[in-house]
Structures are given as C-alpha cells and as structure tokens.
Amino acid sequence: MVPPAGPTWEPPAGAGHLPGARGHRQLPALPPADRRRRRRPHVPLRDPVRAPPYRRRASVTTHDLAPFVTTFFTRHLPAERNASPHTIAAYRDTLKLLLRFLAASMHRTAAALHVEDLTPERILTFLEDLETTRRNTIRTRNARLAAIHSFFRYVLDTEPALALPCQRVLAIPVKKAPRPVLGYLSDTELAHILAQIDRSTQVGERDYLLVALLYDTGARIQELLDLAPCDVRFAPPPFVRLFGKGRRERLTPLLPQTARLVRRFLTAAGRREDDTAPLIQNRSGQRLTRHGARYLLDKYVQRAQASLPSLARTRISPHTFRHTKAMHLLQSDIPLVTIKDFLGHADVKSTEVYVHSDLAMKRDALDRAGTPVRVGPKPRRISKDLLEWLESL
C-alpha cells in the first residue's frame, strides 16, 4: 500500500507493526513487497567450461549375410552375369571355406553371421590359413580372393549402406606369386608315356584316347572332359568343337589318325557319333572328373619314369600336354597369332610365355648372333723351382 501525500496520514487499524496499535505511537507502514522474481545479473566467466551435451547412443544396425549369399548364387551369377557352372562352383567352394572358417573362429553358426563380421583382418587370416593349413599355392589363394572380391562388389551394388566395409575388403591386394618356367615334354618323352598304356582293354583304349586328345587338341582338361561325340566332325577335314573360358567356342582341327582313333573307340563301346553324353567316361558311365584324369596320368607317368628318368625332373599334369603342344607348334615356326587361336587365348600376351620358355629357340638365336668372346691359350704351369722352370723353356 503506497501512503498518500501529506504529513497527517495515518495508517488504518492493523496496518502498522502491531494490530490495533492506533492509540500508540504510530509508525509508517512498510510498502508492500515486490512479489516479482528478480533475475540475477549474468556475469560471463572468463574461461567458461561447458559440458558436452548428452547424446543418446544410436543403435548399431547389422545386415544378415545369408540373404546376400543366396541371391548372389541364385540370381546374380547365373542370371545377371551368365556365369558358367564351373565359375559358380568355384565361387561356391570359396564361400563355403570362408563361412566355415569364420563360424569356427567366432563360435557361431554360419546362418548367424553378418556382413559386418567379414572384416579385412578376418579375411586375411582366412587366406593365410589356406596357405599354411591347406597347403594351397599363392595362385589358389589369389583365386579365392577374386571370388571374395566378386561377392563384395555385388553387396556394394545391392546395399549402398555397406559401402565402407565393402571398400575395405575390396582394397585387399593380390599377393605376388613366382612364375615358374613352363614345363613341356619332348617327342621321346611323350611317346614313352603313351607306350605305357595297355590298349588291349576298353579301359586302356580310353586312357590312350585321353592322352592323345590332350596333346593333339591342346585343350584344357575340363574342355576335354566336357567333349561329347556330337562335338566331333569325322568327315574331312575333321575337327572338334571346344568350349573354353568365358563360354568362348573354338574349332580345333584333328589329325586324320586321331579322328579314326575316336571313331574306333565309339564303335567298340557301342555308341553313336551323335551321342550327347561325355566322350570320356569312368567305369560307372559318368563323366570322368579332373581328379580322375590326374590320377590316370600320374599312374602312367610313374611307370614311364622307371625306364626314362628325365620324366622325374618336374611334375607332369594334364596341362603339361597343352604346354607341350604349344611349344612344338612354336618350334615348327608356326606364327604366334595362329598358336593363340589354336589354344583359345583371349590375348596374345598369354601366348608369349611360350616364347620365353623355349630354350632351344634361345640357343639357336644365340648361335646365330655369335659372340666376340674367345677362349685364350691354356696357361703353362709354373714350377716352384725357378731353375727347373728355366730348364723347361
């Protein structure tokens, strides 16, 4: 209550310090208190230390691996890329080995794995395990890595949110591998291996046909095992139709004696020339596998090594006969481009390795070029006794 102007003002009863104090000494009433909240003046600090704002931790999102694996093999490889069955099988084996390794090391099932679990560190550990535990070569290790890279490129295209982990895996480099000199057989060694086969039986005739076609056609072992009688033309000029890497088809000429060998084999087996079943079969009438072909070849090579020790200098595989055919064509002065088409190479650089491996051609070129180096006279032997040496002059 604000007192009115003038000195004779008296507060009403009860408005002083004591209720009913009208007859006593009157004191001026206190002004009413201001009930509004007053703000304290803000004084800024010289070095304010502000606590970081509290942020709620975001939940980590993971992506299941199983859906990517199934669509990679059921849709991407066969439908989108039109990959061959051999490519799909190779990629399948790689992911089977990888998932088993991760499941064992992380103590969980393969179905419970996530894409984020496939880190570069774990993949490098898996590749190292291939070389140490499974005794794989560096070339096999790089082939497994190529399959893993193909899978992660698919994941990157399918789910952009996984770009960072995919790019880290795709950055794993290919390991450099030593390139050994290509081995090949001489005419004597090739004839000696063929002589070890007993052609009096149907199985022996099949083995002889296998080795003969490996050399005459220069085909890869899988190309030959996929060959059917309907792919052979027996009318002159005879040839075979082979399906190589990347679904590339090529026609390879056959020598007349090799065509007669195939026809006689089909006649003895009671098969027609237009048969679509594989030409080379096992005892069960099924397609002969690569491991079965390698086993048969190793058996005859071991027999030949007993009488021809030069065959033991290196390991002979079915691919050695392909190298042998290429080297014999090169030594017969066949142009390199023709050899490239004969072998089914996509680039002539793949065929140039045979030029680097032909020691006979290098020696012949060295003899033609000549050298100014001459062997000096044989030095006389000087005796320790000087007088004796003077006497011998």
**Catalytic residue (one of 245, 271, 287, 328):** 245
> Catalytic annotation on 356?
no
Of 220, 323, 325, 340, which residue is the catalytic one? 220
In angstroms, rounded to a whole number, what is the distance separating the alpha carbons of residues 164 and 116? Answer: 10
Count CB-CB contacts under 10 A for residue 212.
19
Question: Of these residues, 114, 271, 319, 328, which one is catalytic?
Answer: 319
Residue with tokens 């060959």: 227
| Distances 131 to 101, 124, 207 between C-alpha atoms, Å | 14, 11, 33
Instruction: Report the 10 Å Cβ neighbour count for 57.
Output: 5
Backbone phi, psi, residue 89, to 5°: -65, -40
Q: Which two tokens stand for residue 179?
A: 């390139």
* Among the listed residues 349, 354, 352, 291, the one whose alpha carbon sits nearest the alpha carbon of residue 320: 354
- How far is Cα 115 from Cα 156, in angstroms, rounded to an integer? 11
- The answer to whether residues 297 and 208 touch, using CB atoms and an 8 Å cutoff, is no
C-beta atoms surrounding 125 within 10 Å:
13
Q: What is the pLDDT of residue 390?
A: 72
The pLDDT score that the predictor gives to residue 345 is: 85
* Cβ proximity of 117 and 106 under 8 Å: yes
Domain 65-171 has CATH 1.10.287: no
- The pTM score is 0.66
* Catalytic option among 141, 144, 322, 325: 322
The pLDDT value given to residue 247: 74
Query: In the beta sheet, which residues pair with residue 252?
Result: 240
Q: Confirm whether 208 is a catalytic residue.
A: no
Active site residue 345: yes
Q: Please indicate whether residue 363 is annotated as part of the active site.
A: no
Q: What is the pLDDT of residue 68?
A: 96
Residue 310's pLDDT is 87
**Active-site residue (options: 76, 192, 340, 345):** 345
pLDDT tens digit at each of 393 positions of the chain: 455 555 555 555 555 555 554 555 555 555 555 555 556 666 555 555 555 555 555 455 789 999 999 999 999 999 999 988 889 999 999 999 999 999 999 999 999 999 999 999 999 999 999 999 999 999 999 999 999 999 999 999 999 999 999 999 999 999 998 877 678 898 999 999 999 999 999 999 999 999 999 999 999 999 999 999 999 999 999 999 998 877 788 999 999 999 999 999 999 999 999 999 999 999 888 999 999 999 999 999 999 998 898 888 778 899 999 999 988 888 888 888 888 888 888 888 778 777 665 666 666 666 666 667 666 666 666 666 767 767 776
Q: Is 83:72 a contact under the CB 8 Å cutoff?
A: no
Selected from 3.30.2350.10, 2.30.30.100, 3.90.550.10, 1.10.443.10, the CATH number assigned to the domain covering 187-365 reads 1.10.443.10
